[in-house]
Amino acid sequence: MNNVCNSMKILIIDDETELRELMKDVLEEESYEVFCAANGADGILLNEQIKPDVILLDLRMPGMDGIETLHNIRKTDEKVNVVILTGYGCPDTIRDAVALNVSEYLSKPFENRELLSIIGKAFAK
């Protein structure tokens, strides 16, 4: 159990309920404080309310996609570390994300250790 990060806040924005809950469980096991949003609009509001250290953001969501969500987050928060979750690594989308200052990428499906490694890298920045 890692107690160093007990004040670190992570916001997960993903429309897949099972994946969101799995990531939440894995991260809470490591003593992170985890918040979840099922869509971009809720994620934008939560980001403003809780000021997370890292956001895990799914690119493909119904309604507002990850790029649009990130664009809105960057209007009020230029510094938060963002990790993009995607099963679809389209070059145009990746270019859009890079332009919006993304820390890391995590391709779906992923192992729990990959998730923890990426989060560790994001916190190190």
pLDDT score recorded for residue 52? 97
CB crowding 71-106: b at 16 or more within 10 Å, else e:
bbbeeeeeebbbbbbbeeeeeebbebbeebebbbeb
CB 32 within 8 A of CB 55: no
Bridge-based pairing of strands 33-37 and 54-58 is unpaired
pLDDT-derived band of residue 98, with 50, 70 and 90 as boundaries? confident
Q: Which of 68, 106, 65, 111 is nearest to 89 (CA)?
A: 106
pLDDT-wise least confident of 8-12, 107-111, 115-119: 107-111
Q: What angle do CA 114, 117, 104 make, to 5 degrees?
A: 90
More confident call, 6 vs 62: 62
pLDDT score recorded for residue 94? 67
pLDDT-derived band of residue 4, with 50, 70 and 90 as boundaries? very low
pLDDT score recorded for residue 106? 87
In this model, does residue 111 exceed pLDDT 60? Answer: yes
pLDDT in tens, 37-92: 999 999 999 999 999 999 999 988 999 999 999 999 999 999 999 999 887 666 67
| Average pLDDT score over the chain | 88
pLDDT score recorded for residue 114? 95
Question: Average pLDDT for residues 23-43, to the nearest whole number?
Answer: 97
Is CATH 3.30.420.40 the right assignment for the domain spanning 9-124?
A: no
Facing residues of 83 across strands?
56, 104
